[in-house]
């Protein structure tokens, strides 16, 4: 599988969302947008009302850290990846119906403390699994390395599954995530806190090159 760096955006205003998308879009294929409702997690971000006319030169994955994610997904038509939390979904049929109606694909996220036994019965519904390596709600948190054991088990059970890691990802923590089996890395502050966005993305890729991951050019291409 090809390693991919996916810039993660957690903001409260549409103007900042668009600014950050523009800053990274020349260097990546996909952008990760965090959506929080101040219910499932203790924070609130931009929501569906801010997702009109987003730049079309990248793909989008929406990370729904919300209760009743199907109500949000139905408002965002397009070929997007919708990452819903296994801890939040009460009605899988409703979520799958909303994703299909919107024209998107389904991904499933799980929190650091969630046992894999809760995730495994629904993994095959998903195109991608997102492993949280911080407690969701705020960026800038410390990477929880214990989640790597769950990533490794997922990779063993599902060799072809797309596995993304989100939380505390940077040049150092990316190594353990990739060695455990991740092929997608969502990074926020490690990218947006840097002056040189392209170099920040390259630095993460270069840090895992020793594990046999592709070069920056191969990842972008």
> Does 196 participate in catalysis according to the annotation?
no
* C-beta of residue 168 within 8 angstroms of C-beta of residue 142: yes
Name the 3-class secondary structure at 26: coil
Catalytic residue among 34, 37, 183, 203: 34
Instruction: Tell me how far CA of residue 208 lies from CA of 158, 177, 214, in angstroms.
Output: 22, 9, 9
- Residue 15's φ and ψ, nearest 5 degrees, are -60, -40
Catalytic residue among 37, 166, 183, 203: 166
* C-beta of residue 62 within 8 angstroms of C-beta of residue 76: yes
Contacts of residue 181, Cβ cutoff 8 Å, sequence gap at least 6: 151, 152, 154, 155, 156, 163
> Does 117 participate in catalysis according to the annotation?
no
The H or E element spanning position 81 is: strand 81-85
Annotated active-site positions, please? 34, 166
């Amino acid at each position: 599988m090809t390693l991919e760096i996916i810039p993660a955006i957690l903001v409260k205003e549409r103007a900042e969302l668009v600014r950050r998308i523009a800053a990274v879009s020349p260097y990546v294929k996909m952008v990760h947008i965090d959506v929080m409702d101040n219910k499932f997690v203790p924070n609130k971000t931009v929501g569906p009302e801010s997702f009109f006319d987003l730049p079309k030169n990248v793909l989008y994955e929406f990370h729904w850290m919300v209760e009743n994610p199907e109500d949000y997904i139905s408002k965002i038509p397009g070929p997007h990846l919708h990452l819903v939390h296994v801890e939040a979904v009460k009605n899988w049929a409703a979520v799958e119906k909303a994703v299909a109606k919107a024209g998107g694909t389904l991904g499933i996220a799980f929190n650091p403390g969630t046992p894999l036994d809760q995730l495994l019965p629904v993994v095959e519904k998903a195109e991608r699994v997102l492993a949280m390596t911080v407690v969701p709600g705020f960026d800038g948190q410390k990477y929880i390395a214990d989640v790597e054991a769950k990533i490794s088990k997922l990779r063993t059970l599902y060799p072809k599954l797309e596995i993304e890691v989100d939380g505390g990802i940077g040049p150092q923590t990316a190594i353990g995530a990739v060695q455990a089996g991740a092929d997608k890395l969502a990074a926020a502050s490690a990218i947006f806190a840097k002056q040189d966005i392209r170099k920040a993305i390259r630095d993460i890729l270069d840090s895992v090159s020793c594990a046999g991951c592709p070069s920056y050019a191969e990842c972008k291409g």
